[in-house]
Structure 1
Amino acid sequence: MKTRAARLYGVNDIRVEEFTLPKIKDDEILARVITNSICMSDHKAADQGASHKRVPKDVATNPIILGHEFCGEILEVGKKWQAKFKVGSKFTIQPALNYKGTLDAPGYSFPYIGGNATHIIIPHQVMDMDCLLTYDGDAYFLGGLAEPVSCVVGTFHAMYHTKGGSYDHHMGIVEGGNLAILAGVGPMGLCAIDYAVHCDRKPGLLVVTDIDDARLKRAADLYTVEDAKKNGVNLVYLNTKGVADPLATLMELTGGKGYDDVLVMAPVKALVEQADAILAKDGCLNFFAGPGRTDFSATLNFYNVHYASTHIVGTSGGNTDDMRESLEMMSKGLLNPAALVTHIGGLGAVGETVINLPSIPGGKKMIFTHFDFPLTAIDDFAEVGKTKPLFAELDKLVKKHNGLWSAEAEAYLLANCKE
């Protein structure tokens, strides 16, 4: 079968090419990809090329398909898996396989599987590790977003606390405690807000900071203080750029106690140090944001580590159980990660988007792999629609859904896009 895919050959060498997939083996599955969400991790893989931990050293001669946040449909199932997976089923994948201790992952390490493709072969490693997940939702883009949502779910589960005199770790955030999400209105921060307010282990106080009023306003419009209150959470949005003493203001919001849990959503030295400074006794700092620099560091207060039992954890992705929880919460309407999506594009837009991702504003860039149209911001649909009727109609549909991409918009695009 022919496929068309965005393949990585080396540092920022991404080529959209058509090639033939081999016939699947008995322990493999053939699938069609519909959507793939571009992640900052894709940019890091492209920026580092063969030096990236997950990218093969021979990528220049054996290119890999980029993309690990994808959703599609199963087309053919090898004999080994026919009792478990059915042709026609929607699917998504947990890319963190942890197969035999390796870092190999779809979207980084394999020649025939990655999200930025029309068709793929799912290798046995994915099924062996129970990382191929069937998906029953209406929208493909939501299935693809289960992976980034799972990263947030995993972060909340990785937090831990102890009780005085005990060495037992109690996993998860402090229920009813104080939680701060610093630099928290980017795409993953929005997801963290949504999860904190709607999960089964909620904080009592949730403070979300940023230095951009427009981004804070959008977050507050999407995840309202009123809805949080209905769910038992006191939600506060704070622009730390607009206050004279951010540390004092953050501490005042807790009555001077500090924060039991702090998530740092951007790899900024000052932000990590701010997070450390506002921790309460037994406070847990989660460094969520993966830095691009291998020498990234910040100063921590080790007096508090010793006497106040403050501690730090880091998470890089979720596991399969986190993805299942994400899919279940989405299916129940408890989470709506549509707010993460700010752009859509076709397969031909992948290279430029991945390479320039840090300088492209907004959140997730959703790629529809069977089409070729430029990366287009949802906010620009009305303007683009003046010359392209497809986008005029998409503009109406997103406005119908509070400015968000939706299952209805996706269905219209899939049925009517001719590019």
Structure 2
Amino acid sequence: MKTRAVRLYGVDDLRLEEFELPEIKDDEILVRVVSDSICMSTYKTVKQGKNHKRVPDDVDKNPIIIGHEFAGDIVKVGKKWQDQFKAGQRFAQQPALNYKGSLASPGYSYPYFGGDCTYCIIPPEVMELGCLMVYEGDSYYSASLGEPMSCIIGGYRANYHTNKQNYVHDMGIKEGGNLLIMGGTGPMGLGAIDYAAAGDKKPKRVVVTDLSEQRIERARRVLSEASMKEKGIELIYFNPNNFEDDTQALLDISEGKGYDDIFVYVPVESLAQQASKLLAFDGCMNIFAGPTDKNFSAMVNLYDVHYTSTHIMGTTGGTNDDLLEALRLSEQGKINPSLMVTHIGGLDSVVDTTINLPDIPGGKKLIYTQIDLPLTAIDDFESLAKEDPLFAKLHESCEAHNGLWNVQAEQILLNHFNVNQL
């Protein structure tokens, strides 16, 4: 069958094309992709081309389909997997495969397997690793956003603390501790704030920094201090521009103890250096944001590493268990992936959106791959409603959900374009 897909040929060379998919083999599965959220990692891939560690050297001759935060419907199942999967099931998938030492991953490495397309073929290693999962939630976008949420959960779980009795590492953030998210009002940061109240270990205080008052105000609107207080967590939004000595001000918030867990959500040298100064005894700093510069480094306090047991680490991606946790919490309504989404668009908007991603304000750009639609901010629905009945309905739905994308809005959009459940 034919598919429409956005394919990478090289640095800044993305093309929306239609081409024929091969017949699936007995150990493959054909799926219809419905939603894909665009990740900054994809932008970094486009800027590096074949120099990216996951992209094949011959990508100029054998292009790959981009996008890895995707969900949709199973269309056809090869004989090997027919006892586990059925046509018509909704799926989510974990792109961090790590198959037999290979770095190959959907959205980076495969000619027929990626998220920014109408149909694609899932290769056998995905099922062998348990990375294809049946999703029983009520929306496609929640399954798509399960992938970035799994990365957030992975970060929380990979942090660790120690004791001086037996050197056992206590995995996860510190229960009842001070947690700092630096540069944390972007889409991933909002997901991290939301998860702080849903994870197995809960901090007593979450401090979130950002230099943009506009981003802080949106964060406060969708994740208020009062809503977190109801869940037993003190949430503080902090703009360093408002303080003469912001490092001291952050220490004062922690009663001078420092922070047990710090996530650096923007790969900036000064933030990493400041985080090093703010760690509490046995504090753990997680460089969560992935830098593009292979020589990215910062001056950190190794004296404290030795004498006060501070830890420095980093995480990328999530595991199957992390994704299952993200999907479970989303299905139960304990986390709200909608917090991340600020724009929607169709497959025809992917090329420009991806290439210009850092320059487009807001959070996650959610793509519905079965339709054509310009990238549109949720905040613009109201003005567009005057001319377009579709946006009038979408605006009404989002307004009823605190200005957020939601299940009803997705149904309105898909019904308008006659994209129905298989």
Which TM bucket (shorter chain)? over 0.9
* 1:365 matches 2:365: yes
Report matched runs for 1:19-418 at 5 Å.
19-417=19-417
CA distance in 2, matches of 1:231, 1:352: 40
Show CA shifts across 1:192-222 (max 9, x none): 0000022221001111111111211221222
AA aligned opposite 2:139: A
Q: 1 CA distance for matches of 2:211 and 2:9? A: 37
In terms of mean alpha carbon deviation, does 71-80 or 386-395 score higher?
A: 386-395
Please give the alpha-carbon distance, in whole angstroms, between the structure 2 residues aligned to 1:197 and 1:251: 22
Q: Cα deviation per residue 1:40-93 (whole Å; 9 max; x = unaligned)?
A: 011011110011011111100101000000010001000000000111000011
Partner Cα separation in structure 2 for residue 195 and residue 56 of structure 1: 35
Q: Secondary structure at the match of 2:197?
A: helix
How far residue 386 of structure 1 moved from its aligned partner, in angstroms, is: 2.6
After the TM superposition, which of the residue ranges 379-388 and 27-36 deviates more from structure 2? 379-388
- Bigger drift between 158-167 and 253-262 goes to 158-167
1:127-150 CA-to-partner distances (Å, cap 9, x unmatched) read 011100110011101110000000
Question: Partners in 2 of 1:418 and 1:34 — Cα distance?
Answer: 12
Equivalent residues of 1:371, 1:418 under 8 A apart: no
The Cα of 1:234 is off from its aligned counterpart by 1.4
Specify the code of the residue in structure 2 equivalent to 1:386.
K
RMSD: 1.1
3-state SS of the aligned residue for 1:405? coil
> Residues of 2 paired with 1:106 and 1:393: CA distance?
34
* C-alpha distance in structure 1 between counterparts of 2:65 and 2:286, whole Å: 31
TM-score (norm: length of structure 1): 0.98
Q: Distance in 1 between matches of 2:281 and 2:302?
A: 13
| Between 241-250 and 219-228, the greater mean CA deviation after superposition | 219-228
* Deviation, structure 1 residue 418: 7.4
CA distance in structure 1 between the partners assigned to 2:225 and 2:391 by the alignment:
32
SS at match of 1:312: strand
Counterpart contact for 1:4–1:118, Cα < 8 Å:
yes
**Tell me, what secondary structure is at the counterpart of 2:145?**
helix
CA offsets, 1:308-363, max 9 Å, x none?
11111100111110000000011111000101011111111111111110111111
Unpaired runs of at least 5, structure 2: none
Distance 1:170 1:412 in 2: 46
The letter for the 1-side match of 2:363 is: G
Q: Is the 8 A contact 1:28 1:77 kept in 2?
A: yes
Q: CA deviation at 1:373?
A: 1.5
Taking only the aligned residue pairs, the percentage that are identical comes to 55
Return the alpha-carbon distance in structure 2 between the equivalents of residues 21 and 5 of structure 1. Answer: 11
Write the distance in 1 (CA, Å) between the matches of 2:380 and 2:312. Answer: 41
TM-fit CA distance, 1:267: 0.6
Amino acid at match of 1:187: P
Distance 2:94 2:109 in 1: 14
| CA displacement at 1:187 relative to structure 2 | 0.4
C-alpha contact (below 8 Å) 1:345/1:367 kept by paired residues: yes
Q: Which runs of structure 1 show a deviation greater than 4 angstroms over 4 or more consecutive aligned residues?
A: none
Which residue identity is paired with 2:347?
Answer: L
In the aligned structure 1, how far is the partner of 2:220 from the partner of 2:382?
A: 24
Q: CA deviation at 1:223?
A: 1.6
Q: 3-state DSSP class of the match of 1:198?
A: coil
Q: CA deviation at 1:227?
A: 2.2
Given that 1:390 and 1:417 are in contact with CA atoms closer than 8 Å, whether structure 2 keeps it comes out as no
Amino acid at match of 2:192: A
Range that drifts further, 398-407 or 211-220: 211-220
List per-residue Cα deviations over 1:156-199 (Å, max 9, x = no partner). Answer: 00000101243211100000011111111010000000000222
Q: CA deviation at 1:387?
A: 2.5
CA separation in 1, counterparts of 2:231 and 2:344? 32
Question: More deviation in 293-302 or 227-236?
Answer: 227-236
SS at match of 2:366: strand
Task: Give ranges in structure 1 of 5+ residues lacking alignment.
Answer: none
Task: Name the count of aligned residue pairs.
Answer: 419
- What is the distance in 1 between the residues matched to 2:418 and 2:136? 27
Instruction: In structure 2, give the amino acid aligned to 1:256.
Output: G
- How does the TM-score come out when normalised to structure 2? 0.98
> Structure 1, residues 262-310: CA drift from partner, whole Å, max 9, x if none?
0000011111111110001111000000011111111001111111111
- Letter matched to residue 327 of structure 1: L
| Aligned mates of 2:204, 2:214 — CA distance in 1 | 26
The answer on whether the counterparts of 1:35 and 1:369 sit within 8 Å (CA) in structure 2 is: yes
Farther-moved stretch of structure 1 (388-397 vs 5-14): 388-397
